[in-house]
């Protein structure tokens, strides 16, 4: 635990290795496997509705075609978002953020909302998604952690839900991490795991930032990152890492 009240394992896109990512099945699986937190990706449909979806285009994870931002919600609702993963998940639907929040509250899950948008849409996506989330999320539950690769999105998040923690996501170690996180009022830095070193983790934590790392699916890697002081790892198989965390002597080191 740290000041964000994070758990050490966050289900990535729910539990993306075990169920179709960012769907109800994935969030239910994360909860069933003991995850306290899940991460999800949010974008806007063509008609401006926040939906939970990772890719820019529909082909990989649905039976639709084209760009998500060019597709109306009514059309997105008709897509099959599960069959690509396995026949048993056929009929799984793409969810709106509103539907997803209702499900997460029912499941008792905390959430990291990652705002996904190109720079031309980042601020608008953050504004619309977080105004909605801000209305729906109960004040007596741990607030969502809002993250993004986009600094514009985080700057807008600071205006819309100023009291919710913010995290800067980066595939590389940002040369200006100290200045950027201070300017954006970030509580955390979320970094692709090969970019982390003990020295980098220590330096970030000394400034008061929590350090989160993605995507970690091997217990031995998670153990190493936790040893370095990483606060939480995003995993496609959160249950696997939770078991390893509970039985550290059983896993390889």
Catalytic residue annotation: 12, 54
Among positions 24-53, residues that touch ligand G3P (CB under 6 A) are: 39, 41
Please state the closest distance from residue 202 (CB atom) to Mg ion, in A.
Answer: 25
Task: Assign 3-class secondary structure to 49-67.
Answer: CEEECCCCECCCCCCCCCE
Applying CB under 6 A, among 190, 201, 217, 235 the residue interacting with ligand G3P is 190
Output the furthest CA–CA distance in the chain (Å, rounded): 52
Rounded Cα–Cα distance for residues 166 and 209 (Å) = 10
Rounded Cα–Cα distance for residues 114 and 130 (Å) = 11
Applying CB under 6 A, among 33, 114, 231, 237 the residue interacting with ligand G3P is 114
Among positions 35-94, residues that touch Mg ion (CB under 5 A) are: 41
Instruction: Please choose which of Mg ion, ligand G3P, none residue 164 contacts, taking the beta carbon within 5 to 8 angstroms, the exact cut-off set by kind.
Output: none
Among positions 109-128, residues that touch Mg ion (CB under 5 A) are: 114
Rounded Cα–Cα distance for residues 45 and 111 (Å) = 21
Work out the number of other CB atoms within 10 angstroms of the CB of residue 252: 8
Instruction: Please choose which of ligand G3P, Mg ion, none residue 234 contacts, taking the beta carbon within 5 to 8 angstroms, the exact cut-off set by kind.
Output: ligand G3P
Retrieve residue 63's tokens: 């039976």
Closer residue to ligand G3P, CB minimum distance, 2 or 90: 2
Rounded Cα–Cα distance for residues 74 and 87 (Å) = 24
Residues that bind ligand G3P (CB under 6 A): 12, 39, 41, 54, 114, 147, 169, 190, 214, 234
């Amino acid at each position: 635990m740290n000041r964000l009240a994070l758990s050490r394992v966050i289900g990535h896109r729910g539990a993306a290795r075990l169920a179709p990512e960012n769907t109800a099945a994935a969030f239910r699986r994360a909860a069933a496997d003991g995850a306290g937190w899940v991460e999800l990706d949010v974008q806007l449909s063509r008609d401006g509705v926040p939906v939970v979806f990772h890719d820019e285009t529909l082909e990989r994870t649905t039976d639709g075609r084209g760009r998500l931002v060019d597709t109306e919600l009514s059309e997105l609702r008709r897509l099959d978002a599960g069959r690509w993963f396995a026949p048993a998940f056929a009929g799984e639907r793409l969810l709106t953020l509103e539907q997803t929040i209702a499900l997460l509250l029912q499941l008792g899950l905390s959430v990291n909302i990652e705002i996904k948008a190109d720079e031309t849409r980042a601020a608008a996506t953050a504004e619309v998604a977080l105004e909605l989330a801000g209305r729906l999320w109960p004040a007596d539950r741990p607030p969502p952690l809002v993250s993004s690769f986009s600094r514009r999105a985080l700057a807008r998040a600071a205006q819309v839900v100023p009291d919710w923690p913010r995290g800067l996501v980066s595939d590389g170690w940002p040369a200006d991490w100290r200045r950027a996180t201070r300017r954006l009022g970030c509580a955390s830095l979320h970094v692709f795991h090969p970019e982390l070193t003990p020295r980098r983790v220590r330096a970030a934590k000394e400034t008061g930032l929590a350090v989160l790392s993605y995507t970690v699916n091997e217990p031995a890697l998670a153990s190493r990152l936790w040893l370095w002081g990483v606060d939480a790892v995003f995993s496609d198989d959160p249950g696997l890492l939770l078991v390893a965390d509970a039985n550290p002597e059983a896993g390889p080191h």
